[in-house]
Structure 1
Amino acid sequence: MSHAHLPSPGRRRLLAGALGLGTLAALAPLRPARAADFKALVCIFLYGGNDGMNTVVPLDATRHADYARVRGALALPQASLGRLGSSDFGLHPSLAALNPLFEAGRMAVQFNVGPLHAPLTKAQYRADAGRTALTPPSLFSHSDQQVLWESASTDAQSRTGWGGRAAATLGLPSPVISVGGNGHFGLSELAAPLVLPGPGDGFGLAGLSAADLAWTPNALRLDAVKALAAEAPDTDLAGAFQAQQRDAMALAEQLGPLVKRKPGEAGSNAAIDAAFAPLIANGNVTTGLGRQLYQAAKLLDVRATLGGTRQIYFAQLGGFDTHGNQVAADALGGTHAALLKQLGDALGCFQAALTAVGLAESVTTFTQSDFGRTFKPNNSSGTDHAWGNHHLVLGGAVKGGFYGSYPTLALGGPDDVGVDSWEQQGRWIPTTSVDQYAATLLAWMGASAGQLDAVLPNLANFGSARNLGFV
């Protein structure tokens, strides 16, 4: 990433929330584009490593018995699971808000996906032993595997994310729009994501909101900042930064009122507020992910604000590093259940809002996470770091169903990296790569074969299996 295009830390604080704006073209007026011309991706990253084995669970007698035998106290009873259609799989009961979306054909489950350089068998993995590029580096490490997922590469030193590279390669007029912080996913070589605060928070020059300007010294300060941005630059670097400042201030003036608007306030969208009503109390969205997706819904509703007919969003939910006390005594409560409840309820409200504003077919939402978790529990009523994981894709354009290969539920079996008894934990070798997962989403956005190869460095290693078909 070229630091010549990024402000210094001090100026980043001054331009609060306005990172990565050097790539923005002239701002479009606040009006929606026709939904038929518009497509957006919304990435939800589950930080810490979501336990996919308790997110989507087999219901048929044989596999559920295999699952329960290994999972023990962590196993979810068959009767508690929400059956997905007429299939032999069920969702964790905390995700009940998503079952209607599957029934409507608007949710897909992608089995056993993770970072891969190329297709990999257990025999190849054991023979390679991390000596070549065939084995992704630093497996089972939070920070490294987050980078591999967010960058869609097998380079743990990758400086860019696949969302940021896609925005640059597809020529989107705005960078990745983040309602969940400055994640690696949105970085490109020349831009950082546009990071927006939650509803009720100000967006713009730090300490220079409309209310702040009632105090004369603040008004003079704003005049000084504008004067600095308008001065003739003495270097190319200064000119680039001044242009970024001007774009940031213009964007803040345009977006600030929308970003700050809370449910029920003047100018809020009643349809979006109604969709999020289950998560609203006293004029506030009550969960962290709910706030992020409420903000995203507002921005998507006025989708031409940043120009163009293609946009990429980023949101996140943390806390999934469930090494201990993952479930309550009855296996239905606990840390994981609470996290999935927040995820399911926020996604359900978000999809309802998109339907209400006519964007259900135009927005595809998908999950990512550091890695899956071990099939075998640890001694602390939790699970440890693994590799392949199951992920959810939602939206009106999604072809609902199941994709990929569900792993064989046997410790030390063909999908488990372990051979010796001490390493038989149920760390699944992925049968689908992050590159294939991302390529399927970007192809729906309209990316050409050449653009996909430019964004996803390992995609060519998977031959003709470039599109998984879920959208």
Structure 2
Amino acid sequence: MTHHHHSHSPSRRRLLAGALGLGTLGALAPLRPARAADFKALVCIFLYGGNDGMNTVVPMDTTRYADYARVRAGLALPQGSLGRLGTSDYGLHPSLAALNPLFAAGRMAVQFNVGPLMAPLTKAQYRADAGKSLVTPPSLFSHSDQQVLWESGSTDAQSRTGWGGRSAATLGLAQPVISVGGNGRFGLSELAAPLVLPGPGDGFGAAGLAASDLTWKPNALKLDALKAVSAETDTDLAGAFEKQQRDAMALSEQLGPLVKRKPGEAGSNAAIDAAFAPLIANGNVTTGLAKQLYQAAKLLDVRATLGGSRQIYFAQLGGFDTHGGQIGSDAVSGHHAGLLKQLGDALACFQAALTALGLADSVTTFTQSDFGRTFKPNNSSGTDHAWGNHHLVMGGAVKGGFYGSYPTLALGGPDDVGVDSWEQHGRWIPTSSVDQYAATLLGWMGASATQLDTILPNLPNFGSRRSLGFL
């Protein structure tokens, strides 16, 4: 298969992708129930700003909890507030209480200390590299760059495509990444943008080009003109763009009513509404992330309409850049706690919906974030940018438990990038890579070794350690 690369400015690509806010869709299958046994989907939840993994999953054994409490000081969560994960030595932040039953049922994995890496990296190698980026990923501790590394599954901060988008293209999915959380880089491939869907209650379709708008002559002419573009196109990019436009129009007519439907409205799915009931008030889904996952549940329910037996979804929650005022007056409330509550409650409702739809074993949901945060708090009751972080993976296919290596809780210790006292903040050198994390998820989807090497350029650098084992 030949790959054609077209260089065009990001603003032009945004214009193309944003013309309808939609992505490529393959031929649309008629509405018919797909057998869940043949179907698999990944749902990425990106926590923008850099989630504090050190207060998300906390060690509860006497020695390590003491180390944690000593360094975390005013940010330390009281030991009694933590929700112990099964019979393990780890507990979840109290705001994530809704996820404890999933762990107990073996449906959640915790992946420790994962982050962007070119290859396995020791502290000695990192120190010897001295910022030359020969063995160290570029622009560490920078939001924009590290979001790119996580979303692109590469160590190239200039990467234009996302690992979700490349996966959709390489695996030949019927449509690109289906985004209920905006037009992120995760869903971009060389020739397609993600299919971006609005929240419940919002119209879906090209502005002025929905079927009901075409009674007005100028709109009808505009649509004809857009459809006529195909006659002029002879490049891959223009052809792909024109196909995106046509497919998006067809799909918006077909999915528009479903996407717009709110809980309790005529034709809404009672099982999905019941699963999300704790987060529904006055006919509206109450939090931003829950709105996105409510939409994802509706789309997974009509998966055959979107076509194909494999789908990738993208959702997101922002606000995790907790440099100050991270906790409230009682150490378990405050800004970070509120974000984690939104995350935990939405994930629990989403998993309940998948179970009700018979899709619990067919859908795997996982978190990503810019980076972890410093183990040592800053002077503003917050945390600063770090590197390795802990992430959550949930679903019926997940082998519940703990994966990867939990860092040694010592400032300046073997996992901390810092040596001199002024640089000892507890920024962990990852012991598992984004490539391995993505490869574990994509391997479950059915990606072959060759496909994984195409999608994740650094994966071969990890030798035989290609899967982290949680699926």
Whole-Å Cα distance in 1 between the matches of residues 199 and 16 of structure 2?
Answer: 21
Cα displacement (A) at 1:241:
4.1
Change in CA separation of 1:159 and 1:8 when aligned onto 2, cut-off 3 Å: closer
Distance 2:241 2:154 in 1: 30
Structure 1 partner of 2:457: 457
Out of 224, 227, 233, the residue aligned to residue 231 of structure 2 is 233
What pairs with 1:316-465 in structure 2 (closer than 5 Å)?
A: 316-465=316-465
**SS of structure 1 residue aligned to 2:201:** coil
CA contact (8 A) 2:209 2:220 kept: no
Counterpart in the other structure of 1:168:
169
Partner residue of 2:207? 206
The Cα offsets for residues 422-462 of structure 1, whole Å up to 9 and x where unpaired, read as 00000000000000000000000000000001100110011
The whole-number CA distance in structure 2 between the counterparts of 1:92 and 1:66 is 17
Which residue number corresponds to residue 263 of structure 2?
263
Q: For 2:233 and 2:112, locate their aligned partners in 1 and report how far apart those are by CA, in whole Å.
A: 52
Matched residue, 1:53: 54
Specify the alignment match of 1:466 in structure 2: 466
**Matched residues in 2 for 1:129 and 1:334: separation?**
37
Matches of 1:110 and 1:83, distance apart in 2: 16
**Distance in 1 between residues matched to 2:456 and 2:28, nearest whole Å:** 29
In structure 2, C-alpha distance between the alignment counterparts of 1:147 and 1:4, rounded to whole Å: 18
TM-score (norm: length of structure 2): 0.95
Partner of residue 224, structure 1: 221
**Comparing 239-248 and 336-345, the one that deviates more:** 239-248
Are 2:293 and 2:350, in contact at CA under 8 Å, matched by a contact in 1? yes
C-alpha spacing 1:173/1:398, structure 2 compared with 1 (3 Å) = same
Q: Distance in 2 between matches of 1:44 and 1:230?
A: 35
| Per-residue Cα deviation, 1:153-201 (whole angstroms, up to 9, x for no partner) | 1110111110000110001010000000001101111111110001100
Is the Cα contact below 8 Å between 1:111 and 1:402 reproduced in 2? yes
Matched residue, 1:310: 310
Q: Deviations over 1:346-386 (max 9, x none)?
A: 00000000000000000000000000000000000000000
SS in 1 for 2:460: helix
Indicate conservation of the 8 Å contact 2:32/2:305, yes or no. yes
Give, as a single letter, the amino acid of the residue that structure 2 aligns with 1:191: A
Give the aligned residue type for 1:228: A
Which amino acid counterpart does residue 70 of structure 2 have in structure 1?
R
Q: 1:14 to 1:38 in 2, by over 3 A?
A: same
Cα offset for 1:207?
3.4
Quote the Cα distance in structure 2 between the aligned partners of 1:96 and 1:468: 25
Question: Shift of the alpha carbon at 1:329?
Answer: 1.9
Q: Which runs of 5+ in 1 are unaligned?
A: none
Residue aligned with 2:368, SS:
strand
SS at match of 2:315: strand
Q: Is 1:70 the counterpart of 2:82 in the alignment?
A: no
Give the aligned residue type for 1:409. L
Q: CA offsets, 1:290-314, max 9 Å, x none?
A: 0000000000011112210000000
Distance change >3 Å, CA 282–CA 434, structure 1 → 2: same
Equivalent position of 2:41 in the other structure: 40
Deviations 1:311-363 (A, max 9, x none): 00000000000000000121111100000000000000000000000000000
CA RMSD, 1 decimal = 1.8
- Count of residues in Structure 1 that have an aligned counterpart in Structure 2: 463
Amino acid at match of 1:392: L
Task: State the Cα distance separating 1:230 from its structure 2 match.
Answer: 4.0
Q: Find the residue that maps to 1:101 and give its secondary structure.
A: helix
Mark the runs of 5 or more structure 2 residues left unpaired by the alignment: none
Q: Distance in 2 between matches of 1:9 and 1:178?
A: 15
CA distance in structure 2 between the aligned counterparts of 1:163 and 1:298, rounded to whole angstroms: 21
- Provide Cα deviations, 1:378-398, integer angstroms capped at 9, x if missing partner: 000000000000000000000
Task: Give the alignment's TM-score, normalised by structure 1.
Answer: 0.95
Q: Percent same amino acid at aligned positions?
A: 82
Q: Secondary structure at the match of 2:304?
A: coil
Q: Which residue of 1 aligns with 2:154?
A: 153
Contact 1:229 1:243 in 2 (8 A): no
Report the Cα offset of residue 5 of structure 1: 12
Offset, 1:227: 1.8
